[in-house]
Structure 1
């Protein structure tokens, strides 16, 4: 259980950090994947770092070094220092590269890293203090595209928190940018602009624009128009935020207990997505005859021929949907859901991405379907933990909470934590209790044709169930 923790944060006045050298004033169009309605929100990320006196002098405030490195990185990633504009025609987004800068906050907190507890995972105490919402910074259009706060802790460690306008980049692109800042910080920060990042940034958003004329060729259930005929949109009041930890032992037990031999080679993502989708559907009490869906964020960079450039930092993923009647999903063996998730993932090809771009233009950049829907995004391999500003790797790194997005409560992330995966989930209070029971039942349940294996991990191996603050 997360510690009951309160602390005070002393913040300096927020400032705008502009590129450290002149940058072009130009208008750059976002791709037709970037500017869809479902990505027009702010994505919070948080990184925790231990004190490391061997890397920098103990008198250095990490914010000073990171601020200087940020200004230099923005010379190369200068669109981040601009502002989004929307064209009247078909709601197309473009970034005006004004060089105004990104919001930066330097802060100190009277709390030590160890006071956050050993189970350092979302939701985090006082997140609003560690990532302060500066007035006028939280929109999508005509405001800063990044907000960064660096908070030094009483132990000498620090918290690097960031909020990104998701239309500008996905998780892969954000990590590219964070590593660029980190590389420059490790070179010492001050002085003239350092060498370019080891992976030069690539804009090239036209690479995944719609065709002319747009002609969607694939089925896109993720953008179905689904009427809320029975009031089944998840209510936003009484929302509870908890994290579920899945150790390797629990994943192995789920695979062994619930999957037939031909599916035991499925990925951990496919298995966990099936478990969470089915348990969430049951916890919300969906009508057995109504359709439910889960959408899986699939990185499509390598689906193109040739692949998108290594330094491409725009949104390069699709959200294919697996669809089932709720009754069949909850009443079938888990392998049924695994196969649906696997088929959805395999549907993503270069043509699928081009079809999504076409659909965006043809239908006015629609939002994903949200009625009876669940969205999952695996960020375990993106490298958040490896971002090193000179103090070593992060103790925790990744999305700051689940349930974010234009429609709160729908999105969960798979985040690397120790040797397993932590998944923040948002649900109304009563549904969360039922969700916990469903997950526990899956882990405890024995296969009908085999005896219990004495090596099965105990229930508590799923980890802490952490209530929101």
Structure 2
């Protein structure tokens, strides 16, 4: 693909991909009880072509979250960022003077989740490089996750509890939030693991989200009796929940279970306390929980996830956004480029030593961010010293 214009090829590839993903070329309309429907009117998506008078290498690590150039690499076209009646997909290709380029995607999340985006980008990659059809054909079939004929909430869903005073308290910070990313490789995870009792068996990501939840809550310095939440975004396509969705199903297929605790208990107890809370909520997830949440959406008319001292983490490490090859080779970075308010994303990156790990951008008020940075430094400051001594 050397010497070929990426904007031209990606735009042409998008036109072919949208033949198979035709709902993305339509617009959302709202029916009774706030029910969203797609009007397949073929209005199309938004495509932006841009040039940057700089070499891509000059950006360095700044292309990783939180990317300060996001507004330039993915321009927010006026009137395009709503839910109803707006384009469902915006794509920007930015060419650099070195022949490198960036591709930015902004998608209406009501249409698909990370798995669906991965399917779409894989199809785009295949069609750009000469395939006549995607290797996995997309299927709509949204009825597979419809509410029951008589909707009934049978489980507790703390992610939709809203405490007005706590919500207002967080919203008062939102225009003052700053972002910082934190890297966790094998060495950092070993340090975290040593903070948990030996009989507490957990996955690396359970350890990580519990650690971040506790540290973030300490940094916020909340009253001891304040209720805090950790919300997980979990794919239901796995076998454990017994949902047999077709491989081509690209709609949202995830749940958002929330863990709650008093701030004082979370901050004063050993990390094992938070890890056990995470494990407990995951152990209670089953088919009934998914159906109860689906019914809740109908009964309450698409309620928003609570902002009340909530911390939502989405694990995008295995989404493969850093592996898509549109014909020019794998990207030097691929993933969600920033946190949004109380929502963070775990993305796969390599550090300066070439070690692969997870990078998580977090939004906090300035004073709380300074505290969180201090906690991170104090927790992991001895890693370099230990490594140096072990090599002597």
Range of TM-score over shorter length? over 0.9
**Aligned pair count?**
382
From 347, 363, 388, the equivalent of 1:415 is 347
Q: Tell me which residue corresponds to 1:296.
A: 232
Match of 1:49 in 2: none
User: Does the Cα contact within 8 Å between 1:296 and 1:319 map onto a contact in 2?
Assistant: yes
1:453 to partner: Cα distance? 11
CA distance in 1, matches of 2:166, 2:367: 22
3-state secondary structure, aligned to 1:398: coil
TM-score (structure 1 length as normaliser): 0.78
After TM superposition, give the deviation of residue 130 of structure 1 in Å.
Answer: 0.8
Stretches of structure 2 lacking an aligned partner (at least 5 in a row): 351-355
> In the alignment, which of 255, 258, 263 is matched to residue 321 of structure 1?
258
The root-mean-square deviation of aligned C-alpha atoms, in Å, is: 1.9
Q: CA deviation at 1:267?
A: 1.4
Q: CA deviation at 1:350?
A: 1.9
Q: Is the 8 A contact 2:241 2:285 kept in 1?
A: no
1:209: Cα distance to partner? Answer: 1.0
Structure 1 alignment gaps of length 5 or more: 1-55, 188-193, 404-408, 446-451, 459-469
Tell me, yes or no, if the aligned pair for 1:320 and 1:347 is still in contact at 8 Å.
no
Given that 1:253 and 1:457 are in contact with CA atoms closer than 8 Å, whether structure 2 keeps it comes out as no
Contact 1:106/1:151, CA 8 A, preserved across alignment:
yes
Q: TM-score, normalised by structure 2?
A: 0.93
1:402 aligns with 2:339: yes
For residues 329 and 147 of structure 1, the distance between their equivalents in structure 2, rounded to whole angstroms, comes to: 41
Which string of whole-angstrom CA distances, capped at 9 and with x for unpartnered residues, describes residues 59-85 of structure 1?
x11010011111000000000000000
**Greater helix percent: which structure?**
2
1:375 to 282, 287, 312: 312
**2:323 paired with 1:386:** yes
The secondary structure found in structure 2 opposite 1:337 is helix
- Cα shift at 1:304: 4.7
Distance 1:160 1:453 in 2: 36
Contact 1:151 1:160 in 2 (8 A): yes
The answer to whether 1:272 aligns with 2:194 is no
Query: Which has the bigger relative contact order, CA under 8 A and spacing at least 6?
Result: 1
Q: Does 1:79 align with 2:23?
A: yes
Q: Give the structure 1 partner of residue 11 of structure 2.
A: 67
Give the equivalent residue in structure 2 for 1:207: 144
On the 8 A contact 1:300/1:348 being kept in 2, the answer is no
Aligned equivalents of 2:384, 2:61: Cα separation in 1: 30
Q: 1:443 aligns with which of 380, 383, 387?
A: 380
Structure 2 counterpart SS, 1:195: coil
Provide the rounded CA distance (Å) in 2 between the counterparts of 1:231 and 1:93.
Answer: 28
